[in-house]
Structure 1
Amino acid sequence: MQNKEIAKIFLEIAELLELKEGNRFKIRAYENAARNIENFEQNLEGIYKKSGLKGLEELEGVGESIAHKIEEFIKYKKIKKHQDLLKEFPKGFLALVDIPGMGPKTAMKLHKELNINSVTDLEKAVKKGLLKNLPGFKEKKQENIKKGIELKKKSRGRYLISEANEFADSLIKQLKNLKEADKIEVAGSLRRRQETIGDIDILVTAKKPEIVMDSFTQLPEVRRVLAKGETKSSVILNNNMQSDLRVLNPDEFGSALHYFTGNKQHNIKIRELAIKKGLKVSEYGLFKGDKKIAGKVEKELFDALGLQYIPPELRQGLEELETAKEGKIPKLIELSDIKGDLQMHSTHSDGKNTIKEMAEYAKNLGYSYIAITDHSISERIANGQSEKELFKAFDEIDKLNARLKEFKILKGVEVDILPDGSLDFSDDILKECDVVLAAVHSGFKMPQDKMTKRIIKALQNKYVNIMAHPTGRLINERDPYDVDVHEMLKAASDTGTFMEINAHPKRLDLKDVHIKIAKEMGILFAISTDSHATISLENMKYGVSMARRGWTTKNDVINTLPIDKLLKKLYSKR
C-alpha cells in the first residue's frame, strides 16, 4: 500500500513539472519511477530498513535523487519537492488536470486564458460556452471535456475496490494484533465487493473497547480523527477515505454485521419479511416481542427467517431473498477454484516481467497454467509484436515448457479488433495460438451500430476464444464504448466465444449486471488479470468478486478446468 502512495506522489510531481513546462527528462524519470514502484513486489520501507539508501538505489527506475525522496516519505510521510510544487498552483488544480479529456497542457491553457483553477470553474465556463471562443477547442473537444466533468462528478468520493481493500486489510491486520480485540470483520460496500467503495466500515468485539479505539485512531494510515467515542470512531485515512470502527457486544455481532453490510434495499426486504413473520429486526438482533431469537452470527438470522444463507456479494435488494426462500442460492465461485490465468503481458510487449518470471510467480500462487497474451502489431503504443516477434516468444515458451514440471504456459495473443471488425493477425497466425483474445483498443467513439457490428464480426472468427474487457471501460476514468451489449452477448452465445471478466481493478469488465445476463444465456467466462507485472497476478480476487456478484459458479468459468479439459474447450470452436 505504501508503494502505491509513493508512486502516486511521483506521478503528481511529474504532472506538476509538466504544468511548469519543466525538464522532460526529469518528468519521464518521475513517471518511470512511479510505474516501477507501483509494480514492485517488495515493500519499499522493508527494503530501506534492510539495505538503506543503497538498497533503494539498486531498484529499477530508482536513482540517487528518487531514493532520497523515498527515504523522505518513509521518515516524514511527505516529500518536500511535492509540497513545494503544490503551493505553486491553486488548491484543487490537479483535480482539474485529471479530468478525462484534459491533461496538463489543456489545463494550463484554460488557466491562462480564462483563469480556470478548479473543476467548479471549468464546469461554469462550459455552461456559459466560454470554451468555444478559444483556439483549439472545437465542438468535439468541448463535448469530451463536458463528458469528463460528468464522469468525475459521478466518481467523486468513490475509490477503486483495490485501494479500499488494501487499506482495510492493513487496518484489520493491525487491530487483530491487539489482545483486547476478538472478532473483526469489514462490512459495507467493501464486504459486498462493489467495484467502487465510499468508505471502510469495520466491526469488532472487544474486551476493552477504549484500548481498541485508542489504537485505531493512532494507526499510521490515519490522517485525521473525525470522532472518537466508546463504541464508534471515525477517521480520515491518508488517501482521504473515511473509515468507521464500531465496537459491538458479542451477542449482536451477526445481526450488526448483516445490517452494516447492506445494501439498503436488501435490508428493507429483510425487515419486511421479518414483519410478515411477526418479528422485528435491527442491528441489535432479531426479536420476537422482547425476546432476542438471533443475532450472534449471521446464519442464525437467515435460519430464523426461513432463508438460505445469502453471500454478501448477492445482497443487492433484487431477487436474492426469493431465491433463498426456495433454497436455490448457487455455490458461488471461490478464488481457490481458479487454476490459471488467461490474460497477461510480458516484456515481449508492454509487460514489466519476462515470461519466465510471470510463470514462476503464477506457479507460486498455486496455478497449473497461464496464457501469455502479448499485444498484436497495431498496438505500437503497447510495443505490439510483429508476426516474427510473436513466434520468437512462442519458441521461448516451448523451451520453458520443456523445463517446467506440472505447469503449462499456453501460447496466446491479445489481437486488436480493427475498425472494420477484421483482426490484426491473419488466421494463419492465429491458428498457431492455444488461446486468442480479441479486444478493442482504438476507435472508442464509434457509433453503436458500427461498434456492435465490428465486435460481432471479430467474434465470428473461429480462432477467437475470448472477448477481452468487452465494454472497454476504465472505472472513474473512461465510460464504456457504445456497444449493444445484448447483441454482443448473443453473438458470443451463437459462436461459442467466452467472455472475459477482467480482474484489473480499473476494468472489472464485464460488470456484474452483464455477467448475470451472460450466465443466463449459457455463456462461459474466463476470469483473467490482464497483468503487466508479476504483482498484478494477485488481482484475480477482484475478478472472482465480480463473478460472484453476477451469480457465477465454478462451472461457469473455463479457467477452473484442469489443463487438458481447458485445451479441449479452447479448441472446440475451431
Structure 2
Amino acid sequence: MTDPKAPTIRAGENLFIAEKLREVGDLLEQQNATQFRVNAYRDAASYVASLSEPIRTIYRTRGKRGLEDLPTIGVSIAAAIAELLDSGFLSVLDRLRGSIDPEKLFQTIPMIGPSLAHRIHETLHIETLEALEAAVIDGRLSKIKGFGTRRSDSIGHSLNDMLARRRPLAHDKATDAPSIADILVVDQKSRDTADNLPSIKPHRFNESGQRRIPVLHMERGQWQFTALFSNSGAAHKYGRTRDWVVIYFERSGHPGGQSTVITQHGSPLDGRRIVRGREQDCAQFYAR
C-alpha cells in the first residue's frame, strides 16, 4: 500500500532515485561509515542516473532480481530502490537524517491506524516493517492489547505481500540475524564511544532542536551495523534514552533487520544487557 502522502515522482524518476542514493552515500560518509559502503551507494547512484531506460520498467518486468542483476546494484541497494519505487520513501535515508517516523510507517499497513501504530512502537520498540514482520512470526504482536491471533495473521499476510518483492529470492531464516555476541559488541561500542561519535538531530521529541543522537556505523564479520540510542516515547517516559540502543543490521544476500538492546531489570538477567525478543538466546549466551 503506497502512502498517499508520498511525493509524486513523474519524469526524471531515475534522477530522483539517483539523488536519494547519493544522499545516503553522503550521509554515511559524514557519519564515518566505511568507504566501501559509501562508494557502493555513490556508484549505484551514478549508474542509475546514466540508465537509458526507466528503472521502474526493469522493476516492473523483472522484479527485484532484475535490479540486482544491474551493474553496481547489490541486494541491499536493490531493496532500497524497490522501496523508493513502491512508496516514494527511503527508510534508511530517513534514519540517517534523524527524521524516521515508525508510527507513520506502520500506518501504511492495512488495519493499523494511529492508535495501534503507537502501541506497536511503544510496546515492541521496533521501527521497521521487517522488524514488525518478525514480531508477527514470533508471536509478540498478538500479545499486544488490540491484537489477537487473527488480526496478527492478517497483518503478517499484508507485510509479506509488501516485502516479498524487496527481499532476496531465497535465504536461510536461521541466519537472518547476527549472533547475540555480535549485537552486544556493537551495543557496547556505541555506548562506550557515544561522546566521540557523529550525531544526528532527531525530528521527534526535539522541540528545542538541541538534542543530538550519536550514530555508530560498524562492520563485524559479514554484517554491517548502524546503532543509535532509542528515540521512542517509551524511552523518554522511562528515562532510558541513554540506555536503550537500536541496532540496524544487514549483509549481502539477506534482508535487513533491527534489534533493541536494553539493561534488564527484575529477572535472572538483572543488570545484564539483553536483546529484546531474544531473551532466551541471551540467557544461553551469558550461561556460556
Give TM-score, length-normalised by structure 1: 0.15
Give TM-score, length-normalised by structure 2: 0.30
Larger Rg computed on CA atoms: 1
Does 1 or 2 have the higher relative contact order (CA < 8 Å, sep 6+)? Answer: 2
